[in-house]
């Protein structure tokens, strides 16, 4: 499925940016994020090419790096909420996989691999306990914002390794927004958020080889401005980044990508997530945006 599932019309969520057309000016908007401390972080199984259970991990280093990321968000004026980690769920730190939230509606997740299945219920309960009025349990396999990216106009739905292609149809039904399906073809970039980052409604950065031809064409049709990541930046998950429209928090190792962002008027902020990378994650993996 490539293209729009629902005709593009006025957004049903007031306050969400829907303008189109490139702009040299960059404007930050306050965001609300959900994060989970990596108290139980470890690499005890391998479900992506980055994970090597035989190599040592350091939970204290992971916690320090995560805390630095959280502090960056706070210093930028963003609201950070915390979900308590659950013993036995070492990947629960990857809050982006916990749900998709747009306009206050929550679509839960259904994980591909049984090792992560327990996270789905923990995140759903967090939303229910806080009185979210519309919390949906998914029918299809989807891994939340790992594969679903909101541009401000449409939802991009990655598939090929984790989320089902059919999850895009369910996404359109739940949120009433257009959905564009993108096939991932490189197993190193197993989630959409490892290969593409929306910087503002008109601008994105991405790694073209992670997508098939139709996916690259669909991405080009969605954005007035595209930044292409070089191999060396993609290979440190430099695209697993978080943008508030002006500031872009990304792995500090992605130096060339940071330079391209500066040239386009963004303010890159590097953070060391090297311990988290051992599980195939970065800043975005640790961050779920709570929209509306």
Please say if 191 is a catalytic residue.
Answer: yes
Q: Is pLDDT at 13 greater than 50 in this prediction?
A: no
Which of 20-24, 61-65, 115-119 has the least mean pLDDT?
Answer: 20-24
pLDDT surpassing 70 at residue 85: yes
Share of the chain above pLDDT 70, in %: 92
Nearest Cα to Cα of residue 132 among 162, 105, 160: 105
Query: What is the predicted pLDDT for the residue at 141?
Result: 98
Catalytic residue among 5, 36, 197, 285: 285
* CA-based nearest residue to 20, from 193, 151, 157, 175: 151
> What pTM was estimated for this model as a whole?
0.91
123-154 pLDDT tens trace: 999 999 999 999 999 999 999 999 999 999 99
Q: Which CATH number fits domain 32-289: 3.40.1160.10, 1.10.150.120, 1.20.1050.10, 3.75.10.10?
A: 3.75.10.10
- Res 80: pLDDT: 98
Q: What is the mean pLDDT of residues 231-244?
A: 98
pLDDT band, residue 24 (cuts 50/70/90): low
pLDDT of residue 7: 28
159 part of the active site:
no
Work out the pLDDT band at 19, boundaries 50, 70, 90.
very low
- pLDDT attached to residue 3: 35
User: Which residue is catalytic, options 191, 197, 247, 286?
Assistant: 191
pLDDT digits (tens, 9 = 90+) for 27-63: 999 999 999 999 999 999 998 999 999 889 999 999 9
- Please tell me the predicted confidence (pLDDT) of residue 25: 79
Tell me the average pLDDT across 156-180: 98
pLDDT tens digits, one per residue of 271-292 = 999 999 999 999 999 999 999 8
Distances in Å between the Cα of 260 and the Cα atoms of 84, 130, 131, 196, 281 are 36, 40, 41, 15, 22
pLDDT over 60 (residue 91):
yes
Indicate the average pLDDT of the chain. 92
Going through the chain in order, the beta strands assigned E by DSSP cover 32-35, 79-82, 100-102, 105-107, 134-136, 148-150, 155-159, 179-183, 196-200, 203-206, 225-228, 242-243, 247-251, 267-271, 288-289
Going from the C-alpha of 64 to that of each of 10, 78, 236, 247, the distances in angstroms are 43, 19, 19, 21
Q: In the predicted model, is pLDDT for residue 82 greater than 70?
A: yes
pLDDT at 50: 92
Q: What does the domain layout of the chain look like in residue ranges?
A: 32-289
Q: Which percentage of the chain shows pLDDT scores above 90? A: 90
Q: How far apart are CA 206 and CA 198, in angstroms?
A: 9
In this predicted structure, the answer to whether residue 16 has a pLDDT above a threshold of 80 is no
């Amino acid at each position: 499925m490539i293209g729009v599932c629902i005709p593009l019309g006025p957004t049903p969520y007031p306050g969400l940016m829907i303008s189109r057309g490139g702009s040299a000016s960059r404007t930050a908007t306050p965001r609300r994020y959900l994060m989970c401390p990596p108290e139980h972080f470890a690499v005890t199984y391998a479900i992506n090419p980055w994970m090597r259970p035989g190599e040592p991990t350091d939970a204290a280093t992971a916690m320090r790096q995560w805390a630095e990321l959280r502090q960056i968000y706070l210093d930028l004026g963003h609201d950070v909420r915390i979900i308590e980690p659950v013993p036995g769920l070492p990947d629960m730190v990857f809050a982006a996989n916990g749900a998709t939230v747009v306009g206050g509606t929550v679509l839960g997740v259904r994980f591909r691999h049984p090792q992560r299945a327990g996270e789905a219920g923990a995140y759903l309960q967090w939303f229910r306990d806080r009185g979210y009025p519309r919390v949906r349990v998914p029918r299809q396999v989807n891994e939340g914002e790992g594969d679903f990216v909101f541009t401000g106009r449409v939802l991009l739905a990655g598939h090929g390794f984790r989320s089902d292609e059919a999850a895009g149809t369910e996404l359109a039904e739940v949120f009433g927004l257009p959905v564009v399906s993108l096939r991932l073809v490189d197993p190193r970039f197993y989630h959409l958020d490892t290969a593409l980052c929306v910087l503002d409604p008109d601008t994105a950065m991405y790694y073209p080889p992670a997508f098939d031809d139709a996916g690259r064409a669909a991405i080009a049709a969605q954005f007035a401005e595209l930044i292409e990541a070089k191999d060396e930046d993609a290979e440190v998950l430099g695209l697993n980044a978080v943008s508030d429209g002006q500031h872009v928090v990304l792995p500090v190792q992605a130096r060339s990508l940071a330079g391209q962002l500066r040239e386009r008027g963004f303010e890159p902020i590097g953070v060391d997530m090297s311990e988290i990378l051992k599980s195939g994650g970065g800043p975005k993996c640790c961050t779920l945006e709570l929209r509306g």
